[in-house]
Amino acid sequence: PGSGDTESDYHRHRPTGLLALLCPFELSNAAFITSSALLLGTPVPHALYLRANNPLYAQFDVFGDKLLNDSSHASHSRTQSHDHITSVLADLATQHGLPTSIKNVPFADSHSQRRADLVTCRGGLVRPNPRLNFGPSTLLVMDFELGHTFTSSHQFKPQNIANMELQKRSKYLSAYHDAGLAFAPLVSNSLGQFGPDLLRFLWGLADHAARNQVPVELQDLPHLDLDSPAPAQAAFQRLRSLIYVQASYRILAAVFEGVTERIYGRTFALRTLPAYQRSLAERSQPWLPSSHPVASLDSPASPLSAAPPHSYSSILLQPPSSSSPLPAPIPVQLA
């Protein structure tokens, strides 16, 4: 951030990666190995199988880019994954004291059927704005989008998040402002990155929920204070941070599951093929640490030294030697 940028004061940094979801939320097996492939830049699981068994598919959409960019592919699964994520967002807001609906969203204008995905049923998340006549009771309308980070030719989209937010604002912002409603685009991409307004929404939920349990006089988004906070303030900040992280993880799990469902589609033909299921099971067995010394990457004994790049993910997920003892459990205590 720049010298005058205080964005890092607003949102506590926390991991939003795939491995952060090993605890407390668990991904399905298909979502874990598919999202691992996207993050590692390796072919998605069914592409690995097709490359090994059908030469016609050796170089066809090995990273799933066409499937994730083409809205005509598995349109039911795309709609289903989108609706599931918006339902999770609405449930989170309601559970944290801000009832939110996915059914009673007002239309953007009276001349069309365009409308966003969610609307709060009471105020609490919108800052007062005299110019727009926004006050404490102003409702917030939100529209969610899950986009892909690469083009269909596997070129990285550097402004993926910003472009999705811009498109949502161009589509809805003026119309909802004219109706006296606030609007926020909630976007995420296939690597699990959240847009700024989605982060602010989750922070607002955490702040609202924490205030209901620990009433303190603090700014909505306080700057970092060099002085030691009072006990009540410290308790409030810890609770808000905990709620924020847990809410982020819950949305992140839904995002990775949604990306996987879009790649697989509702009628994914390979799901019924026993040979593919066996191939998938071989790659998805959990890795456990070995008590033996680890060979260097340049050593002939290292599996990475001779492995082609596309097989790294399967090596990382391969089962351990039967002689490797299980590690002793490590007790974890939440602060």
CA distance 169 to 181: 13
State residue 273's pLDDT score: 80
Bridge partners of 129, per DSSP, are 134
**Tens-digit pLDDT profile for residues 76-89:** 889 999 999 999 99
Q: Which of 79, 199, 210 is nearest to 146 (CA)?
A: 79
**Tens-digit pLDDT profile for residues 53-67:** 877 777 788 899 998
What amino acid occupies position 62? V
State residue 259's pLDDT score: 93
Burial state string for 274-295 with b = 16 or more CB within 10 A and e = fewer than 16: eebeebbeebbeeeeeeeeeee
* Poorest-pLDDT segment among 111-115, 204-208, 238-242, 272-276: 272-276
* Poorest-pLDDT segment among 119-133, 216-230, 262-276: 216-230
**Tens-digit pLDDT profile for residues 3-27:** 444 443 334 444 455 556 554 467 8
**Tens-digit pLDDT profile for residues 141-195:** 999 999 999 999 999 999 999 999 999 999 999 999 999 999 999 999 999 999 9
State residue 188's pLDDT score: 96
